[in-house]
Amino acid sequence: MNAPLPADVLSNPLLENWDTPFGLPPFAKFRAEHFVPAFQVALKAHRDEIDAIANNTEAPTFDNTVAAFDKSGRDYTRIEQVYYNLTASETSPALQEAERELATPLAAHGNAIYMHMGLFKRIDALHAKRATLGLTSEQLRLLERIHLDFVRAGAKLSGDAQKRYAEVTEKLAELTTQFSQNVLADEAEYQLPLKSEDDLAGLPEYLRASAKQAAAERGIADGYVITLSRSLVVPFLTYSTRRDLREVAFKAWITRGEGSNVPGKYDNRPLIAEIMKLRLEQAKLHGYASYADYALVDTMAGSKEAVAKLLNEVWVPAKARTEDERAALQALADAENAGRGIEQKVEPWDWRYYAEKVRQARYDLDDAQVKPYFSLDRMVEAVFDCANRLFGISFVARPDLKGYQADVKVYEMRNGKNEVAGLFLHDNFARPTKRGGAWMSSFRLQSRIEGDDSILPIIVNNNNFAKGAPGKATLLSFEDARTLFHEFGHGLHGLLSDVRYERLSGTQVLRDFVELPSQLFEHWLSEPEVLKRHARHVETGEPIPDELIAKIKAARRFNQGIDSVEYTSSALVDLAMHALTDMNGLDADAFEKAELKRIGMPEGVVMRHRLPHFRHLFAGSSYSSQYYVYLWAEVLDADGFDAFVEAGNVFDTGVAARLKEHIYSAGNTRDPAEAYQAFRGRAPTVTPMLKKKGLVEA
């Protein structure tokens, strides 16, 4: 990062003014080799701005210190947002090389900013007398959040402790980058070829088409491939009658990140031990006994004890339900194998296969029946329509605006006055250059830091759906459609943001509040009113039959035991590992096995995310000791949707207006507990969530 700048640095497209419509990044101009020199320039400019704020001879005020800090680093921020989105969604060997080169310098830049003693001294002085400054509630919230950001980043440490803290965070950046790249490589390089009709036995036509498309994308002209993309491997485990191939696929899926799929490469287990040791040191430098104690202070839960209490409220009934589900699966397997004289225990690679058979028997419901009514295009129309009916916004396709990859679609979001109020990018398909999972991100956050006019947000949703064959629609499972709605809920949280300061914008809320807008939006997918309008047969255009809606609703609680166990066990292992006070000799495999035994993991069930590929925990720190947040938010979303149920209309305008004002548009301008209470009129209760899961009687 200290090498001389290239002669053409001033023509670097990342540093030029982007005269594109709405400031959409000109993706076609960017190359991997642009990022290192662009960051060199932008980081220096940002540090110069910080020095200027810190060295201001005038006494610190909110405007010349706090607001100035929030506004600083414009070039750095816009380059950073492009960089992190591309490394996640459309990477390459050259970009990954740049990512490894930049990991430490970018972490060092964060340290230089948040350990800048001159700047922190001014912020600390304002914070000490904040009650006397006559600030608005939003200004006060910004001052408190920024002050806390500095404290949690080590600003109050001194001397050797602060130096060591910087070293720890920089090393963590390097290790978490490598962890993420290992998982991506392990997933991208693995493929299970299906070479014969026998290999394809049991697979519905849509899955065959997706496997053929996956093969074509990997240069296999005449064949079928199952990859480790969830949208391929999960339905394969559900429908394949080839038990031997199910076992192969399952073991590859759950061991990604262990280096077993590509021998000798991508083993994340040594990295986990290093990361955990450094995190504990980080927490102890702050004076906490464990990393969980440090991380959970700044959450709604507030402590590991509160998190454990919530998780155990679900864990105990979920385990009991799982044993009932296992018995049903084993009974079916026994009946199926009796005629062949085989005794066969249901193994983890059998669970989804037999669960689907039980579901079909109990509810006469088959994904092959459902999928033709859930084409991707129709479901995108559905999320847009629900947003319109709730919040008065509309989405207009802009095919002339190009994303960073050919399949990315760009839309204008227009407000009730038909004014463009944001851009939305939809990136829906799995590919080897994209990490797994689903997520929302931004290329620009909404704010008014440049004046009274709002800066338009540019928000992106990423999914990993198996792409339909050329000329064929992409069909979603009901769970895929739920994921689409979930991520769009996050997208709305960014798009509807209406705040002045960037630090408080959109999804920059406490981690166990950020999943509320996304999980709440999922509810509208299940509403008959929405399904009858948008779930239409891909070939005939006929609306989904009432009897199929009834079957989907009846099956909603099916397999909730194992689903809850898969998730909750991951959250419990996360919490337990980050609650350790001694990391010497930590072995990720041994710890995972011991902890699952301690909590009584039901036999044959596997964590949703095993530690070697648990990106939430080890590809960064955002969810470390906080994977519980989905369950915490589920309490809020189940309770929150009941406000619409109680109003008698799932699109009730009054409830929707409160929801927009206090949740979707408010960002981090107020304490989340206060925000929820302002929307709901009271604090949330856990009962609606337990009823929704069927873990207590409705």
Q: Please identify every residue annotated as catalytic.
A: 487
H or E element in which residue 192 lies: strand 192-194
DSSP letter assigned to residue 526: G
Which residue do the tokens 């970018």 mark?
Answer: 106
Q: What is the dihedral of CA 93, 227, 221, 265, to 10 degrees?
A: 40
List all residues 6 or more positions away from 498 whose beta carbon is below 8 Å from its beta carbon: 446, 454, 665, 666, 667
Phi, psi dihedrals of residue 473, rounded to the nearest 5°: -70, 150
Q: How far apart are CA 694 and CA 324, in angstroms?
A: 13
Pair type for strands 409-414 and 394-397: antiparallel
Cβ(568)–Cβ(631) under 8 Å? yes
Q: How many Cβ atoms from other residues are within 10 Å of residue 325's Cβ?
A: 23
Q: How far apart are CA 112 and CA 46, in angstroms?
A: 10
- Helices 348-363, 243-254: axis angle to 10 degrees equals 120
Q: How far apart are CA 577 and CA 567, in angstroms?
A: 16
150: Cα separation from own chain's centroid: 25
DSSP letter assigned to residue 6: P
* Alpha carbon distances (Å) from 56 to 122, 254, 501: 10, 55, 21
Of 3, 148, 18, 146, give the one whose Cα is nearest residue 74.
18
Q: Sign of the CA dihedral 487, 608, 298, 519? A: positive
DSSP letter assigned to residue 524: G
Helix boundaries (H) for 14-136: 35-54, 68-71, 74-89, 93-114, 117-128
Q: How far apart are CA 685 and CA 698, in angstroms?
A: 14
H or E element in which residue 428 lies: strand 420-429
Burial profile 6-20: b = 16 or more Cβ within 10 angstroms, e = fewer: eeeeeebebbeeeee
Bridge partner list, 460: 425, 441
Which residue do the tokens 């689907």 mark?
Answer: 356
List all residues 6 or more positions away from 191 whose beta carbon is below 8 Å from its beta carbon: 214, 218, 225, 226, 227
Pair type for strands 458-465 and 439-444: antiparallel
Q: How far apart are CA 543 and CA 526, in angstroms?
A: 14
